[in-house]
Amino acid sequence: MKKITILISVISLFLFSCGNTSNEKSKEQTETVTHEEHQHNDEMQTIELNNGEKWKVDANMITHIRNMENDIISFSTVEQKDYKSLAEKLQSNIDLLTSNCTMKGKAHDELHKWLLPYIDLVTELSEAKDETEAAKQFENIQTSFTTFNQYFQ
């Protein structure tokens, strides 16, 4: 339940920061997010390329994404793994990313298809009960960035 509450909060922040000013729109989008969340849990939405090309993520947002990717790359080389600390760093960048959302249109929609499952993975990492579970979530996060780099630049 805590995971769902955190996820809804982050998604709501992301949607509100993307230029939505109407209360009616916000309510509709919150309902849509709830529906999409259930869809996400049932099946992963497939990310599409932009006519065979990678989607361009704007400079402001790619900075936070690359910061997370660099944290993950660095973390993979350290001997003493502090998964909780990594999860906090990743969450901090997610917060910055979502609060600085400036993308619109199809590129924005496709980025959401990657970002929402990624946010789930970071939440699961932060809530991991032991090092084995955390290591598995870390591997999933690494795989998520492989996917990101297949579809976005």
Express each pLDDT in 24-76 by its tens digit: 444 434 333 433 443 444 346 899 999 999 999 999 999 999 999 999 999 99
Q: Rounded to whole angstroms, how far apart are CA atoms 21 and 12?
A: 13
**CB of 67 closer than 8 Å to CB of 86:** no
Q: Rounded to whole angstroms, how far apart are CA atoms 56 and 35?
A: 27
At residue 35, the pLDDT reads 36
- The pLDDT tens digits of the residues spanning 36-47 come to 443 444 346 899
Sign of the alpha-carbon torsion through 75, 80, 81, 87: negative
- The pLDDT tens digits of the residues spanning 92-125 come to 999 999 998 989 999 999 999 999 999 999 999 9
Kindly report the backbone phi and psi dihedral angles of residue 152, in degrees, each rounded to the nearest multiple of 5, phi listed first.
-135, 155
pTM beyond cutoff 0.75: no
Q: Rounded to whole angstroms, how far apart are CA atoms 95 and 55?
A: 22
Give me 39's structure tokens: 């869809």
